[in-house]
Amino acid sequence: MPENRAVIYKGPGHVEVEEVDYPTFELKDGPGVNPDNVGRQLPHAAILKVVATNICGSDQHMVRGRTTAPAGLALGHEITGEVVETGRDVEYIQTGDLVSVPFNIACGRCRNCKEGKTGICMYVNPDRPGSAYGYVDMGGWVGGQAEYALVPYADWNLLKFPDRDLAMAKIRDLAMLSDIFPTGFHGAVTAGVGPGSTVYIAGAGPVGLAAATSAFLLGAAVVIVADLQADRLAQARSFGCETIDVSQGSPTEQIEQILGEPEVDCAIDAVGFEARGHGSDSQTEHPATVLNATMDVTRAGGAVGIPGLYVTGDPGAADEAAKEGSLSVRLGLGWAKSLSFTTGQCPVMRYNRQLMMAILHDRVQIAKNVNATVVPLDQAADGYAEFDRGAARKYILDPHGMISS
């Protein structure tokens, strides 16, 4: 049995690569594992040799100590890999397949899964609908920032790449299918982006840049990306976005300078609960800032897509209400403008096959747009630290040295 190593959360600001158990077809006890999941038999699972596994902003929330994640949790929910073993009940996925793993864990059997709502599967997390690998309060499924990872319900969850050689040639792009590309696309779709749309995206991190890429793919006429980080705004401009530095003030006037009017057709919140204020408040956290700003700049009758993460437990919040996810959102403004809102995990399987085809047939360059940067698994801690400092990069961990330079 091969050895296995994984990125382990040790406490706020601290991750290490450590030896961990090789996956088996049974969910075992460990940090963050729901007691009702311990001993769960997984004959429907597959074990993957991880080819690529990414550092995500959602991981960063945990590493900053902004969730109730326990020390010892193996991190990582963005996984691309090669199947090396399958359980006895796996029928269609085969050893040797190169696959993308949706970050949502879904059974394929419950009502929500059958309706395509794979982000809120009812059976994989005993606490509440919805689950993910290596994430707090998500049932305790082991994270994939590792050399080997287990994927339950493999026939349902795994997306097989049709041509291995072509897939390896485009592996940096395909690695984005596990989360940020579908998540950004979901944000754009739910915001109503279409041909000729004007779009405002709050946040120029990887999800915001993926949303911008998606907006162009959907036919947007103008994509405006806002952030506080100059390097991230430069990355957005590198593929045709207009940009706004919200450290200079609220976005309304800057949008008017670009469009000739202060409102857009569609808005996307790609920031989430660690939002900072605008202008003179840009160094202070105000978690409802982006939600309120997107409502303010979206035309009446428009929509706001919210792929940015909001949590029910934030021990690092500035006030007691925010610690349990209660924010000062101007719902009255949204109501008065008849705005639509879509929140929650992206149902990755709704989009990943189509986006795979767009990548394989050269319709999009998502890795270039998010500045994908490959580093060895041993450099995971450095990747987390640089990302936390605002690096305009999407870090891909390469556990086995399989990604060519």
User: pLDDT digit string (tens) for 343-363?
Assistant: 999 999 999 999 999 999 999
Q: How far apart are CA 294 and CA 193, in angstroms?
A: 14
DSSP string, 228-289: S-HHHHHHHHTTT-EEEEGGGS-HHHHHHHHHSSS-EEEEEE-S-TT-B-SGGGTTSB-TTH
Residue 240, φ and ψ in degrees, nearest 5: 105, 5
Strand-pair partners of 27:
40
**Best CA proximity match to 269, nearest among 299, 302, 309:** 309
What pLDDT does 405 receive? 61
The pTM assigned to this predicted structure is 0.96
Cα atoms found within 13 Å of the Cα of residue 291, Cβ hemisphere only: 24
**CATH of the domain spanning 184-342, picked from 2.40.50.100, 3.40.50.720, 1.20.970.10, 3.30.450.90:** 3.40.50.720
CATH class held by domain 5-179+347-398: alpha beta
List of residues 6+ apart from 326 with CB closer than 8 A: none
Average pLDDT in the 36-63 region? Answer: 95
Residue type for position 252: T
- Strands 79-86 and 46-54, by their bridges, are antiparallel
Q: Is the pLDDT of residue 25 over 70?
A: yes
Which ranges in the chain are annotated with CATH 3.90.180.10? 5-179+347-398
| Helices and strands of the chain, counted as H and E runs | 15, 17
DSSP E strand stretches across 137-187 = 148-151, 159-160
CB atoms within 10 A of CB 229: 17
Top pLDDT among 296 and 287 is at 296
- Mean pLDDT, the chain, rounded, equals 94
Report the percentage of the chain scoring pLDDT > 70. Answer: 100
Report whether pLDDT(292) > 80.
yes
Within 13 Å of residue 80, how many CA atoms lie on the same side as its CB?
30
pLDDT tens for 86-104 read 999 999 999 999 999 999 9
pLDDT at 399 over 90: yes
**DSSP H or E run through 388:** helix 380-388
- Split at pLDDT 50, 70, 90, the class of 312 is confident
| Number of Cβ within a 10 Å radius of residue 74 | 26
